[in-house]
């Protein structure tokens, strides 16, 4: 799976949009971009994933650049409960089990 | 649905003792996983299972054994615990890849080996 690079930490004011970047310059054509988050002391939680097109669900939006070398997770209206470590993961959906490689992620602190 | 549950939540072992961590899921998922997470690091895969009766090694399998006798349960065993196995252990499950690769995680087991 391709390697990802994320900033170690970010701050965001409550109610504002949180934009979390991820670089994956070695991504292959069949690799998906996944985002998970881990709130303190809890198990990771799936947020969203995509291949080429931008994706949106009830939690967030995922913007993938046209060359697919980077992506941005957008939390449109951050709340204090969004304070967590956010992991960007690139992997292939091959139809067989493979691991999710969690890096060190971005620690997002949402403040009042 | 309870989702993914883990037993116990906390445990302290002495070096050389053995124990089994239990993971249960009620979502009829085929795939199950055991990860460990150490301070300042991401999750690392220990073992995984693609179905009842099957298991496979992950990234850091040494010192652990697993069994998947029932589809809903995935057991992680430590035969002779070592201080290096002090960690937080997470279990996860997922549908068959290709349909969705969202992994559902349990709340974790905090293990300390003294």
Q: Measuring CA to CA, which residue among B97, B84, B76 is closest to residue B31?
A: B97
B33, B42, B48 ranked by CB distance to A105: nearest: B42
Tell me whether the omega of the peptide bond preceding residue B63 falls within 30 degrees of 0, making it cis: no
Question: CA-nearest residue of chain B to A99?
Answer: B45
pLDDT higher than threshold 90 for residue A99? no
Contact A104, A86 (CB under 8 A): no
How does pLDDT run across A27-71, given as a tens digit for each residue? 988 888 999 999 988 999 999 999 998 999 999 999 999 999 999
What CA–CA distance (Å, rounded) separates B17 from B75?
17
A34, A49, A104 ranked by CB distance to B42: nearest: A104
| pLDDT top residue among A107 and A1 | A107
A44, A103, A104 ranked by CB distance to B105: nearest: A44
Interface check for B102 against chain A (CB to CB < 8 A): the answer is: yes
For A29-59, b/e burial (b = at least 16 CB within 10 A) is eebbbbbbbbeeeebbbbbbbbeeeebeeee
Digit-by-digit pLDDT tens for chain B (114 residues) are 789 999 999 999 999 999 999 999 999 998 999 999 998 778 888 999 989 999 999 889 999 999 999 999 999 999 999 999 999 999 999 886 544 568 899 999 999 999
Q: Which chain B residues have a beta carbon less than 8 Å from that of A98?
A: 97
Interface check for A1 against chain B (CB to CB < 8 A): the answer is: no
Instruction: Write down the pLDDT at residue B96.
Output: 66
* A32/B42 touch (CB, cutoff 8 Å), yes or no: no
How does pLDDT run across B32-58, given as a tens digit for each residue? 999 999 987 788 889 999 899 999 998
* A100/B58 touch (CB, cutoff 8 Å), yes or no: no
pLDDT higher than threshold 70 for residue A94? no
* B42/A95 touch (CB, cutoff 8 Å), yes or no: no
- Which pair of structure tokens corresponds to residue A49? 């994933």
Q: Measuring CA to CA, which residue among A32, A30, A25, A31 is closest to residue A67?
A: A25
Instruction: Write down the pLDDT at residue B99.
Output: 46
């Amino acid at each position: 799976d391709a390697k990802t690079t994320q900033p170690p930490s970010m701050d965001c004011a409550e109610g504002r949009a949180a934009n979390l970047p991820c670089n994956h310059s070695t991504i292959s054509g069949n690799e998906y971009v996944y985002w998970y988050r881990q709130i303190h002391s809890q198990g990771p939680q799936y947020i969203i994933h995509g291949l080429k097109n931008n994706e949106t669900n009830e939690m967030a939006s995922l913007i993938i650049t046209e060359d697919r070398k980077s992506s941005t997770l957008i939390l449109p209206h951050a709340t204090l409960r969004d304070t967590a470590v956010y992991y960007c993961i690139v992997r292939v959906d091959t139809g067989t089990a493979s691991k999710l490689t969690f890096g060190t992620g971005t620690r997002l602190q949402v403040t009042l | 649905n309870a989702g993914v549950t883990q037993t116990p939540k906390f445990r302290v072992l002495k070096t050389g003792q053995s124990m089994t961590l239990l993971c249960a899921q009620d979502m009829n998922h085929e795939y199950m996983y055991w990860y460990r997470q150490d301070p300042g690091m991401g999750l690392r895969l220990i073992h995984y299972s693609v179905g009842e009766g099957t298991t496979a090694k992950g990234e850091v399998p040494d010192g652990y054994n697993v069994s998947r006798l029932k589809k809903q349960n995935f057991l992680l065993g430590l035969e002779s615990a070592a201080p290096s196995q002090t960690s937080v252990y997470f279990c996860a499950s997922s549908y068959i890849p290709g349909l969705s690769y969202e992994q559902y995680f349990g709340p974790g087991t905090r293990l300390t080996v003294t």
